[in-house]
Structure 1
């Protein structure tokens, strides 16, 4: 205590020198911070690299670097061919741009899939597809001989003749529906390309096309991948089918996800900060009612913040997406010390008019209480320091030290400023309005109040058991950014689901056995491995392909012949009119809603269209036909795939140089929830405890976070209990503070459950922090009671605590209003915990103290 009083006394006596010294120190700190403090937006770095799952994650990134540090362009088209053409063009353009990209890849465009792709299909699916193609041979023959609208019309006439002969076209309804849609569009003057790959592929063409680009990052920028992402979108916007509105190009990937998270974190920061400052200044006015105190408080707050930033630059050096929140937390919590000091100074100055003597007396009365509050709050932060949750460990280190810095500023810089600003002595009581009446009511109704809180405490205990932990890191990101919208649209597709699990098998045979075992697990949608690309049953598949190639030989030969001159408008009109008549002749034999009937109507209308419209329709209808027929011929000539002849472009994604084979397990839609993802990851780990990948990492992340929380909560509670025992040396007073603290925790759980708030990796920091904040408020009242003060609401302390809570709540509200969902959830939970602390401190604690025999 003497040290604290001496610090205040020396600071007020040498006020100009003290202020100058702090200003010089702050200037040096800011200069150092500007060149040595950085921000890391990578959420992987929120956890210690020494954790086993992080070690596995980093090892996988080393083994398969092509999947790390990506911007992923997701290309969707009105037809698969348009999407592929756009993806090919985009990939080529990105590979040419060495300013913004190291490299780019379009895996699905590899020639291997065009040549051997049919061998990768399951035997039954391949047989069905080839059966459909062979059955359509007469139709395809006409198209191969005449790849034009005239050839299409001739083929449709053959189908009409088949209906007249009793053929059932129901198996071809899907393909014919697509033809009908394209012809209807052409008849309406909209020449839309027809997807021949979709017609002959039997629905095999699915999912978006993806281009994977490794950007050149600008580490000096707050969004390192911002320039490459913008360059990608400029290139995409200039591509023909994108300009025509037929193809869309969106993006996602770990680089833009990190960039957008930081952008959402800083969005509205300046405006929110300005509003917070105005609101804090307003609360300060109601608390101290003098600009001569408000300005010193704000300057003290700024000084403490600058010095804390300097501390971060010296120690942490690189802050993360959680630790950057220390600034707002510092403002919200450190202002309490200055408010307590100034409000208590107002109270003291009613009797001690000399400012110097009043400052010394305030230090004697409140200095110890403020110091205890600072130490307790710091413990709430520092309890996270030893944990493996680096995100909040760094926040704990910075903010924990910040509380001590704020304490030093409050007991040195603030008194020096007050001596320079010289606030006037107080002339009226400082307690809260109606304070005496509330104190009287609490004293009379203490038993009822304590009984009500007993019920609320039990409800909080139940709510605490029911509060869910959301382990999905994506749920803390802004869902309205392009990266998140794109990623959300990929969740339901097994080919693009981001929450897969990975493992390594020693060889190809082991990979097949492991894949079969994993495929039988509940919740598994697909298993892909190196064995997928060296398939079984190749003898049977090659025989089927050879047979189909023989049957389709005339068609394939015709397709390879030099192209004929395109038909004239008159020739097209005559062909379309004949086909319309052929379909009309059998219309009564078609079932209701048959697509061939719709084709007849559309092609009849098209036969009456102007020449320009007919020629545009012809170009659109057969735009992709020649390349589809050429690819069909190439894929039917597939050769055996072995591990040895697998192209390097494919092998590097699934095989390691030492022969190990990557196996990827994709979950079904059940894994969209935290519980479903947990079940999926646990099922995979039961098969292979060394499994990794995003699904397993998410489960392990949750374990790490919850373990860190338990560790921090225990450490904070022990530290606070030891501090209280040293300060109070009275079991009853210590129990009063801890009982109020426990009730604050239970009320927080109850309020959070009622508000529908879930715990996640960002907002969990609020819980150990609650211990420190709760103790700091409670300590003021208990220490006043020890000193003989029997008024609570009517005391200067109550006014200081209330307006301190309002300023703290304003700062937390700035977090809650953040566009970043993780930061916002932290702010919301901090506000809830603050409300719980206030209720416990202002209602429960006075009733508890009044219940004592000496009250």
Structure 2
């Protein structure tokens, strides 16, 4: 036999003995209340063990490739790159200043410091040693240029073979005079050698004239022996890595992975920061900064951990205070908060055992549990204290809560968990992990609500507050809303429709830098790096099996509109080396034995009188020259006349000194050019061993795979440039990889996963709700707050210019579960009521408090400096507010209108007022009071 109180509990809402869920929960609570101390003790011990397990086994992954499904096609390309080259994990040191020499000194100091910590850094790249490539620079030229150089060197062969001592101004001018005189006497055209001698003598005289007028203005009369394109790909490469204005330089160092740290490169990044701090006092005129993926990810991890911890504390404190104010007590609210903490500990242990780590998406799950898990406690305590206010015992009140709000709590919790679990059907690993962690957390909170909380309530007991009696009466939660349900429903729908029209303004922000903390130094330096040097921590990567393929790919990538530059080393190994080798060998042999500058200076000065006679003879060349040579010989004669005029302007002693100085400068200029040619004329072909080690280790794998880095012309942190860049590089190489590629494709995969999981979640939730209420109409009604709340939320986001981003999209499955949870409780209350439906004050207060605590829990994330985490708080708070308003205002109005049809049907069914089928006023009041 049931006691009177038990009968009252079971009669409320027509639950009856047939409600299996309520009967099961009532039986379960009896078991819990039979041994409350044992339940609380076991729960506490498991919580402590879970914390110990989490402290020793729970990791934190910041690499975004850890969020990607390993079976994805683009991940296979990335895995191949990591296997060949070890990953793109350079720490980038940036140095700013106005004096290049000071920056170079700082670079050398920093590089020396980095190389002194081999346990933390490897492959330090601060300058490029081009000596071996420069020595074989002639191989970089096309064959046509080599032929031209060879043709200029061949006429000098007799001089270079030991006759250089006989090369004087007089001999050079004499050769031109003899060739010109012979052509004039025979009235014949000059041969090729004669024309070259005449042209060389003309340039020589013009240069000499200029020098006679100004002894400091020497102008070389020699035709350049080197091609102007020589060294464009070698000597043109920077020895140090400077920006175009020479005010910014970078140093790269690859950090050593440390598995003992939370972040893979945390210790190396910390050491790098300490090095920067030590450098600043030594070089006070310079500015130092750090960026690169290891730094960005380490800073993001630190920021996320700090922000999530602070948000969790703020959330717990805020929710606890709100809880205590609402219930005007501290004992029972503390039971609910303690239950939540125990459930969170269980979740941490479970996550450690099943997943083993958190990622940047799941780092905030504890904070979300505070907002979600406390809802179960609020609903339970609201009904529990209402039952206590009727004079029921603690045990009876627990059972009453189990049979009345228990099914709604159970269905709401399960639907929320299912909303999370549906994300596990996506291909995005980070989303699957988040779905599993958050869904499991909700279930553990649900377990705590049905075990730990009832046990703690039995143990703490507490006084009965009769003031709660008024809260159990089915008085309208908001009388002014209940009086005009049609008007309230119409106005609410108009507001939702108006907000829904603004959804078109909603945008998606791809830029991951916008998710980082405000004022984060590594982000600011990354933006400077892109702006000043056209470089970035983000670039595409392509691999080739041969240097020929790498060069071809490099040319095709460079031709793309979205590509700014391509970095590769295959082009440093010239093509057609076997065809070029004879020319290089001939040039190398010709310039093998050159006089030194001291030997040139020791040559005897020219005889001024003899030289003057030679110049006068040129000036007196006849004018009856062959027409074909008229211009050349006329120029030669005029040049000689100008030289004689310049000599007459100087005293004889100055003439002798100036002419001797000119001859020395003239010979030094020639042999200087020949030495430069000698420096790049090593006849051995260019091989892999000649590549600078700093480049070879980064762009050529031990297995012989050649790497290309493709930098975008615009910042690929932004959505449109990123999409264009990825689309175009894929057109050249379908296996291209790199952070821009994996990020964009994973974002697309994540977005598609959200869409698929959303539809799946809606179907699963609808089925779960139907299982609880056994009515498709009521199931659809329960989902009304979710649908209308989401429309309103997206519209408000469009109006407020709040963008969706890779971080706050995680809020969507949360809102799915929460929105349905509100609707389930209202529909369950409607299903259990008689007559015209109004939202009772008891449930209304519980739902308001639930939404406030949930919003407060999520709003704590808005205090995060990490903008991605903060945006999660904004979207969650906004979504919960919209869904709760729809559940508290629009849905009750709609149900009130529908319940009038129910009343009319009931009246028509009993037109004669069958007393056996209706309740007396006193009976109705008794039921409603219960």
TM range, normalised to the smaller chain? 0.7 to 0.9
Runs of 5+ in structure 1 lacking a partner? Answer: 127-157, 168-196, 562-628
State the distance in 2 between where 1:635 and 1:288 align.
93
State the distance in 1 between where 2:689 and 2:422 align.
56
Aligned residue for 1:822?
868
Cα 1:535–1:11, aligned 2, differ >3 Å: closer, same or farther? same
State the distance in 2 between where 1:385 and 1:479 align.
32
Aligned residue for 2:82?
61
Contact 2:474/2:842 (8 A) holds in 1: no
Secondary structure of the structure 2 residue equivalent to 1:209: strand
Deviates more, 1:50-59 or 1:76-85: 76-85
Aligned residue for 2:460?
421
Pick aligned residue for 1:758 from 792, 803, 817: 803
What is the root-mean-square deviation of aligned Cα atoms in Å? 4.1
Pick aligned residue for 2:724 from 679, 702, 717: 679
Contact 2:65/2:742 (8 A) holds in 1: no
Answering whether residue 287 of structure 2 is matched by residue 211 of structure 1, we say: no
Aligned residue for 1:70?
90
Deviates more, 1:336-345 or 1:648-657: 648-657
Secondary structure of the structure 2 residue equivalent to 1:851: helix
State the distance in 1 between where 2:470 and 2:575 align.
84
Cα 1:202–1:662, aligned 2, differ >3 Å: closer, same or farther? closer
State the distance in 2 between where 1:701 and 1:459 align.
34
Deviation at 1:434, TM superposition (A): 14
Answering whether residue 531 of structure 2 is matched by residue 492 of structure 1, we say: yes
After superposition, the C-alpha distances for 1:215-261 in whole angstroms (9 at most, x for unaligned) are: 3454334455444334334445555x862323333222222222211
After superposition, the C-alpha distances for 1:813-852 in whole angstroms (9 at most, x for unaligned) are: 2222112222212111111111111221112211221221
Cα 1:312–1:557, aligned 2, differ >3 Å: closer, same or farther? farther
Cα 1:45–1:361, aligned 2, differ >3 Å: closer, same or farther? same
Contact 1:207/1:493 (8 A) holds in 2: no
- Aligned ranges 1:786-801 → 2 under 5 Å: 786-788=831-833, 792=838, 794-801=840-847
Higher-Rg structure is 2
Aligned residue for 1:691?
736
Cα 1:808–1:653, aligned 2, differ >3 Å: closer, same or farther? same
State the distance in 2 between where 1:100 and 1:713 align.
45
Answering whether residue 69 of structure 2 is matched by residue 23 of structure 1, we say: no
State the distance in 2 between where 1:302 and 1:56 align.
43
Pick aligned residue for 1:5 from 26, 35, 45: 26
TM-score, normalised to structure 2, is 0.70
Aligned residue for 1:854?
902
Deviates more, 1:789-798 or 1:723-732: 789-798
Deviation at 1:784, TM superposition (A): 0.4
Contact 1:215/1:228 (8 A) holds in 2: yes
Secondary structure of the structure 2 residue equivalent to 1:806: helix
Contact 1:748/1:832 (8 A) holds in 2: yes
Deviation at 1:12, TM superposition (A): 2.1
Aligned residue for 2:127?
108
Runs of 5+ in structure 2 lacking a partner? Answer: 1-20, 146-209, 220-236, 602-671, 904-930
State the distance in 2 between where 1:117 and 1:751 align.
66
Deviates more, 1:387-396 or 1:377-386: 387-396
Deviates more, 1:649-658 or 1:310-319: 649-658
Deviates more, 1:246-255 or 1:693-702: 246-255
Secondary structure of the structure 2 residue equivalent to 1:385: helix
- Aligned ranges 1:690-729 → 2 under 5 Å: 690-729=735-774
Aligned residue for 1:287?
326
Deviation at 1:496, TM superposition (A): 1.7
Cα 1:206–1:456, aligned 2, differ >3 Å: closer, same or farther? farther
Aligned residue for 1:611?
none
Deviation at 1:773, TM superposition (A): 0.4
Aligned residues: 716
Secondary structure of the structure 2 residue equivalent to 1:757: coil
Cα 1:113–1:776, aligned 2, differ >3 Å: closer, same or farther? farther
Contact 1:88/1:106 (8 A) holds in 2: no
Contact 1:80/1:205 (8 A) holds in 2: no
After superposition, the C-alpha distances for 1:422-456 in whole angstroms (9 at most, x for unaligned) are: 13334235789999677443344433433344444
Deviation at 1:747, TM superposition (A): 1.3
Aligned residue for 1:374?
413
State the distance in 2 between where 1:247 and 1:121 align.
37
Deviation at 1:121, TM superposition (A): 10
Deviation at 1:286, TM superposition (A): 3.0
Aligned residue for 1:642?
686
After superposition, the C-alpha distances for 1:27-84 in whole angstroms (9 at most, x for unaligned) are: 222233222222222222122222111221121122122x533322223342334333
Contact 1:290/1:423 (8 A) holds in 2: no
Aligned residue for 1:775?
820
Pick aligned residue for 1:32 from 45, 53, 69: 53
TM-score, normalised to structure 1, is 0.75
Cα 1:527–1:313, aligned 2, differ >3 Å: closer, same or farther? closer
Contact 1:744/1:840 (8 A) holds in 2: yes
Secondary structure of the structure 1 residue equivalent to 2:541: strand
Contact 2:419/2:817 (8 A) holds in 1: yes
Cα 1:224–1:519, aligned 2, differ >3 Å: closer, same or farther? closer
Contact 1:223/1:263 (8 A) holds in 2: no
Contact 1:472/1:698 (8 A) holds in 2: no
Deviation at 1:535, TM superposition (A): 5.7
- Aligned ranges 1:240-319 → 2 under 5 Å: 243-267=282-306, 271-319=310-358
Cα 1:462–1:677, aligned 2, differ >3 Å: closer, same or farther? farther
